[in-house]
Amino acid sequence: MREMKLPAGHVPVKTGKIGVLLMNLGTPDGTDYWSMRRYLKEFLSDRRVIETSRAIWWPILNLIILQTRPQKKGKDYATIWNTEKDESFLKTITRNQAEKLAAHLAGVSPDIHVEWAMRYGNPAIKPAIERLMAEGCDRILAFSLYPQYAAATTATANDHVFRALMEMRWQPTLRIAPPYHDEPAYISALAQSVRNHLATLDFEPEVILTSFHGMPKEYLLKGDPYHCQCAKTWRLLREELGYSPEQMMMSFQSRFGPDEWLKPYTDETVEALAKRGVKRLAIIAPAFSADCLETLEELDGENRHIFEAHGGEKFTYIPCLNESDLGMKVITTVVERELKGWV
């Protein structure tokens, strides 16, 4: 820690420490109607997520979606809820990632503090930054745990960081960690997670489907780099594992609303594969750093049922890297690289 010599009578000042803020998408506080409604309203009110004109979107959101969707999504969350801690697994995993990162960085420097936050829901980003500042962190690395950059994920998390700083008299020096879609440590960890998982099975998948979270096609046409970064992750992972594009396919999940989204769609691809005669299928979701509703309920639940309902026989979901040793190697690699010059 750098010493700051203060004149006699000066107010106490904490400074000279370094903060690392891990950020993920978000989670409701519970599966009940009002918890889900608060979460969905915050999420679907974000102009980065829904770019439709407010005059059109507000009546749809408030008069239709928020009247019916909280009950449905609450039931979905209940199927994958961490009942022991009464929270979503995304929250549990992100906390574990932060704690393991803090333990690792303690061996690098005692002056590094780690916090974690969610863009939507709790714990919120602004209080996390305030806690780091209270510890004397005048330099902060903000790290969104999205491997591929998208305006609706990385940018909106960064927006919230910037908004918090706008209200501070004494702002910390800020660094934003870049996306890590082609980071060698990330590709290597994904590939090893596939090998490890396949070694536990009593069958060999005919196809491994690499499913990324979707986005409206319009966002791609406006210049969002997400699709290109997903494609690069898919290509690098295939090459690392030695699979052809037919053996390891790419698709996009979680579409919402009537507009065209990035294609091919995961659910339609799963159905088509089963109808084509594929009997053994694996799915991996490299756009997620932690398992959540979209992986546990949508991929391992809904898409498993689609595959089996159309003739598929053997299905497996390959978990996210989460707080595993492989996953933490990716996070520590990125963080240590981005802290160079500070540590």
Partnered with residue 316 across adjacent β-strands are 282
- Sheet strand arrangement including 280-284: 248-253, 207-213, 280-284, 314-318
Tell me the C-alpha distance between 36 and 50, whole Å. 18
- Amino acid 279 reads K
Question: By 3-state DSSP, what share of the chain in percent is helix, strand and coil, each rounded to 5?
Answer: 45, 20, 35
Which residues are 253's β-sheet partners? Answer: 213
Instruction: Answer for the pair 204, 169: CB distance below 8 angstroms, yes or no.
Output: no
Which residues on adjacent β-strands are paired with residue 280?
A: 314
Please give the structure tokens belonging to residue 157.
Answer: 């998390």
b/e code 174-198 from CB counts within 10 Å (16+ = b): bbebebbbebebbbbbbbbbbeebb
State CA 156 to chain mean position distance: 12
E strand or H helix at 22, and its extent? strand 17-27
Please report the DSSP string for 148-192 in residue order. Answer: S--IIIIIHHHHHHHHHHHT-SSPPEEEEPPP-TT-HHHHHHHHH
Q: Is 130 annotated as a binding residue?
A: no
Question: Is 305 part of any known ligand binding site?
Answer: no
Binding-site residue ranges? 213, 294
Binding-site residue ranges for Fe(2+)? 213, 294
